[in-house]
Amino acid sequence: MTRGSDRSRAAGSSCGIRCAVPSCHRPRIRTRTRGSCGQAAALAGFVARHRGDTSFPPVVTGDLNAWPDSDEVRLLGGCTTAPAVPGQVLLDAWTYAGPAAPHATWDAANPYVAAADGPSARIDYIHVGPPGPDGLGRVRDARRACDGPVDGLWPSDHAAVVADLAEAAR
């Protein structure tokens, strides 16, 4: 989530609905600095400036390397603390996951993670703005993906987060 990072970019959706989807990667938890909240505020500002004229809510994805109750994740969301951008709220899609769903995206069951110290945790996110007209972009479900080995190999040291977003009622 470093300022000026080329990791933040706009993308279109596959269902023909135009939306901005910035993505980011923050330094590892052990290397974070006091600038984490500043980075979250900069990302929120980027989202606000690139919102565009679409009625689809903004979607922010990223490896934030921060726990859900961290100051920077709460600031980015603006739900449990004052938002970084007045009036902008980004909902954590994981709120819509089943209560029994495995949540850790940094999971000690993964051999790439097992060698590192520290507990399993959810540090990867999808944040979505409030739904547009007729529920456009409403989070219907969230879950992990790529969270196990394929032919004996783990795809990454992180599990992916997937969110199903609603199209507008027809």
DSSP code at position 58: P
pLDDT computed for residue 2 by the predictor: 35
Most confident of 14-28, 31-45, 114-128: 114-128
CB-count burial class (<10 Å; 0-12, 13-18, 19+) for 17: middle
Rounded distance between C-alpha atoms, residue 3 and residue 104, angstroms: 27
State the greatest distance between any 2 C-alpha atoms of the chain, in Å, as a whole number: 50
- Geometric angle at alpha carbon 164, from 84 and 78, rounded to 5°: 15
Average of per-residue pLDDT across 35-60: 92
pLDDT computed for residue 11 by the predictor: 38
Average of per-residue pLDDT across 32-37: 71
Q: What mean pLDDT, rounded, does the chain reach?
A: 83
Average of per-residue pLDDT across 3-19: 40
- Asked whether residue 139 carries a pLDDT value surpassing 90, the answer given is yes
Closest CA relative to residue 66, chosen from 96, 25, 107 = 25
pLDDT computed for residue 116 by the predictor: 80
User: Which pTM does this prediction carry?
Assistant: 0.81
Q: What backbone torsions phi and psi does residue 123 show, to the nearest 5 degrees?
A: -130, 5
- Asked whether residue 122 carries a pLDDT value surpassing 90, the answer given is yes
Rounded distance between C-alpha atoms, residue 146 and residue 157, angstroms: 10
pLDDT in tens, 63-109: 999 999 999 999 999 999 999 999 999 999 999 999 999 999 999 99
